[in-house]
Chains A and B, each alone.
Chain A
Amino acid sequence: MSSASEAKHPAQEFNQITETVADVIERPKPPKAWYVAFGIALAMLGLLAVSVYHLLTTGVGVWGNNNAIAWAWPITNFVFWVGIGHAGTLISAILFLMRQSWRTSINRSAEAMTIFAVMCAGLFPILHTGRPWMAYWMIPHPNEMLMWPQFRSPLMWDVFAVTTYATVSMLFWYLGMVPDLATVRDRAKSKVRQIVYGILALGWNGSARQWHRYERGYLLLAALATPLVLSVHSVVSFDFAVSKIPGWHTTIFPPYFVAGAIFSGFAMVLTLMVPARWLFGLKDIIKESHIDVMCKITLATGLMVGFSYGAEIFIAWYSGNLFEQYAFLNRAVGPMAWGFWIMVTCNVLLPNLFWFKKFRTNPFLIVGVCLFVNVGMWFERFVIIMTSLSRPWIPAAWADFTPTFWDAATLIGSFGLFFTLFLLFIRFAPMVAMAEYKATLPAAHAGHQKG
């Protein structure tokens, strides 16, 4: 596509981006690896369907939840997925406001990832209610029971935070995508594509007057999404921190959770984008330097998470509170200590490999470390929920937890949902923000004359 000439004409440069990105969705067939991945994802999605069916027809008893550990896996999964869903909006909104132009190569796919992760997250509390068809009770509406939601409950805050986040992320994602959908529309050869992308592009024609309002709107949404993204995991952490359970009732939770969420989110972005850029020939767009920056952010947030673990333990000791001290001692050396040490290894120790340049450049090593981080972050939530709930104030109520087959099946199934959606997104939507990317090129600026 590029006629490796000395100085490229701006028009050629712009076109090259269009070609590279549109090629992913326009090539007649995706690479074999895509089919393999999609097949596996579909199989996992099927598992989700079966588990949900079994759950609904039988009841939450099919899970390992018990009286003491009522939250168990479903809420662990929920917090895990919401956390994953943080990188997208962070990259899109916060890095946008900070004018980090490298974000344009990955923001679209990170946003998509966010939305799919939030969908997976939403699944779990809804299923966890036991009667999901009543979930609409959480939305304030006049009803014959004269019943209103309890707005002072952190669980209600959660409902508001997560639905707002899902809605705003979705709008933000789509708003950003419209000009690119117009590009795809204008390149479409088949009637079906012309109609479908034509409708999705809303008739966008690149008018300067429209760009003006569009950019304003985008900036405003970014400005709104920034505090929002920070609030979501803070609110999720309130579910824990506002309660009075040892190991949960601490003020460090909101920042600690937000750092963890960004940490896990970036790890997931890397897990997805490193293979994708190789698979779809996007190396010129998602540059090595971009991957490098993301690894560094993962490292930085990993260190914050490590610091939070330390601070938690320090405060437990410093507080002189017997129960708090016991909770942390129990985490580190109690019956579920293995979970704690997996968490520490994956989240605190392994990310330090990113100090070394080799680990930030070798795709296999990057994905390897990030997979561990994903595992570690799941275990973080597992440890927080399980250890604290299994040791309530009254020793008579102490309980242990054994997951069932269906616990595992639902978690694996949620990954199926996530990957299915993500693979479809890669194949059918422009996965790089072309318009934005072009605008960041030097040729896009008025001072730059044709070469």
Chain B
Amino acid sequence: MTTENQSDIPETGPGGEGPLHGVLAEYETPGELIEAAKAVRDAGYTKWDCHSPFPVHGLDPAMGIRPTVLPLLVFAAGIAGLGGSILLVWWMNAHNWPWIVAGMPAFSLPANIPILFESTILLAGITAFFGVWALNRLPKLWNPLFKSDRFLKATDNGFFISIEAADPQFERDKAETLLKDAGATAVEAIHLDPDPTRWQIPRPILAFIVITAILGLVPFAFIAKARVTHGDQPRIHVFPDMDFQVKADTQQRLVIDDSPVFRDGQVTRPPVEGTVPRGQLRQDDHFYRGLEGDEWATTFPAQLDIDTSTMDRGHEQYNVYCAPCHGEDGLGGGPIHERALEIQSPEWLMPTSIHDQNVTRQPHGQLYNTISHGIRTMPGYRAQIDEEDRWAIVLYLRALQRSQKALPDDVPPEERAQIR
């Protein structure tokens, strides 16, 4: 390091002449730095700074540095962490998917305090850290002052003041005299580089970084694609987890080590002989089979409410299951029948009209039985329609039959006028 005499301040910066960045003065002790800082502040400069290897106490007021907003940021982040985590915990454990554990309330403050506390600290801590750098405008790896060899001491044992040329009242001579008079051991002019591109990241390196960054996204693109599309290849099992294990599918024969697991080889076990699953006893002959004693039931079973809603239900079920053959009017000319005529199906037999005397005379139970088990060429519908709905259809059939033989008295008085 060259020691400069105060008088011969170099007119040219090292490595060629560039525009003037500012002047840099060195002081020996923290105490002198503080005194000099006061002088610079009193002179009214605004774009200037002190540099020291450690925080010098008493320098902040000397320079007139106003307190930073950092604590406020950190406080706000802490509140956000607290509020955010309360929402998170409540939403996840009490609202979106209420977790019921040992009869405890889905959300209660005490049980969540650790989570809330840690989240508060986490957010506040992260903000404190990044806040320091954001407010300090760092990282900024290059600084014109770094060109000065003397300035290397700023992180070791040197104390510096720099005044920037950008300061509105900057005049080089005046600034230098001020700094010298304040006790500087050395004053130096800092020039910017004549060629500013020298400090830019070289293009190939930049290109490399950009290309790697883009290539780095490729795997993610594939993952994203895999999540929304189907493929004919089995998935890759990095970790087999429990994807492959001995297990039996229904109606499969399970054989381990050459011997069947069950003697009959079947996997599905039949129920123990003579047992009836819960709710499947079906003892009620009237309801389940349409019988009263040995005769077809002539009344509706007690389980059925004879009202409009049952009637509507019957209507709806009739239109779904019966109308395709019997037609909505029940005369037997439904769309299937029409189609059969169209293709001149030889096997087709026209569905019986439900207004046929033979049918209208049948007791409720017999109709119910026809729906359940079918009749001659008509298939049964017990597998598709449950008991209650079958009865509802019977009820509707009765209404339908009556509609074809209705007498004027059947029409409600207020609508009778419409009959012609």
Q: Which residues of A contact B343 (CB under 8 A)?
A: none
22 of the cross-chain contacts (CB-CB < 8 Å) are: A14-B156, A149-B92, A153-B101, A167-B122, A167-B125, A179-B54, A182-B155, A186-B155, A187-B156, A202-B138, A208-B63, A210-B136, A211-B52, A217-B128, A217-B131, A220-B70, A225-B125, A228-B121, A231-B114, A235-B118, A435-B155, A445-B31
Q: Is A290 an interface residue (CB 8 A)?
A: no
Beta-carbon contact of B70 and A216 below 8 Å? yes
CB-CB under 8 A for A207 and B70, given A150-B101, A235-B114, A450-B29: no
Interface centre among B52, B96, B112, B136 (most CB of A within 10 A): B136
Q: Is B229 an interface residue (CB 8 A)?
A: no
Q: Which residues of A contact B124 (CB under 8 A)?
A: 220, 224
Q: How far is the CA of A445 from the CA of B30 in the complex (A)?
A: 7
From residue 4 to 60 of chain B, which have CB atoms closer than 8 A to chain A?
A: 28-31, 34, 37, 49-60
Q: Which residues of B contact A10 (CB under 8 A)?
A: 28-30, 157
**Which label, helix, strand, loop or mixed, suits the secondary structure of the A interface?**
helix
Beta-carbon contact of A161 and B118 below 8 Å? yes
Q: How far is the CA of A442 from the CA of B324 in the complex (A)?
A: 103
Q: Is A446 an interface residue (CB 8 A)?
A: yes
Q: How far is the CA of A10 from the CA of B29 in the complex (A)?
A: 7
Contact of B70 among A131, A171, A175, A217 (CB under 8 A): A217
Instruction: Kindly specify which of B142-150, B310-318, B358-366 makes contact with the partner chain.
Output: B142-150
B184 → chain A closest CB, angstroms? 14
Tier of interface size on chain A: 35 or more
Beta-carbon contact of B93 and A152 below 8 Å? yes
**Whose C-beta in chain B lies nearest to the C-beta of A208?**
B50
CB-CB under 8 A for A146 and B97, given A11-B28, A209-B65, A217-B128: yes
Q: Which residues of B contact A227 (CB under 8 A)?
A: 117, 121
Beta-carbon contact of B59 and A208 below 8 Å? yes
Report the number of A-B residue pairs with Cβ-Cβ less than 8 Å.
Answer: 238
| Interface positions of A (Cβ within 8 A of B) | 9-15, 18, 131, 133, 140, 146-154, 156-157, 160-161, 163-164, 167-168, 171-172, 174-175, 179, 182-183, 185-187, 198-199, 202-218, 220-221, 224-225, 227-228, 231, 235, 238, 434-436, 438-439, 443-450
Beta-carbon contact of A203 and B142 below 8 Å? yes
Q: How far is the CA of A194 from the CA of B373 in the complex (A)?
A: 92
Contact of A204 among B28, B99, B122, B138 (CB under 8 A): B138
Interface centre among B74, B101, B128, B152 (most CB of A within 10 A): B128
B20 → chain A closest CB, angstroms? 19
Beta-carbon contact of A208 and B52 below 8 Å? yes
Q: Is B211 an interface residue (CB 8 A)?
A: no
Q: How far is the CA of A203 from the CA of B128 in the complex (A)?
A: 19
Q: Which residues of B contact A211 (CB under 8 A)?
A: 52, 54-56, 59
Could you list 13 further interchain pairs (A-B, Cβ under 8 angstroms) beyond the known A156-B115, A208-B50? A11-B28, A160-B115, A164-B125, A183-B53, A202-B133, A208-B56, A209-B49, A209-B63, A213-B70, A217-B128, A221-B128, A228-B125, A439-B57
**Whose C-beta in chain B lies nearest to the C-beta of A435?**
B54
Beta-carbon contact of B241 and A161 below 8 Å? no
From residue 361 to 397 of chain B, which have CB atoms closer than 8 A to chain A?
A: none
Contact of A140 among B88, B117, B141, B158 (CB under 8 A): B88
CB-CB under 8 A for A446 and B56, given A175-B132, A208-B50: yes
CB-CB under 8 A for A208 and B101, given A202-B138, A446-B58: no
Q: Is B111 an interface residue (CB 8 A)?
A: yes
Q: Is B140 an interface residue (CB 8 A)?
A: yes
Contact of B156 among A149, A152, A186, A231 (CB under 8 A): A186
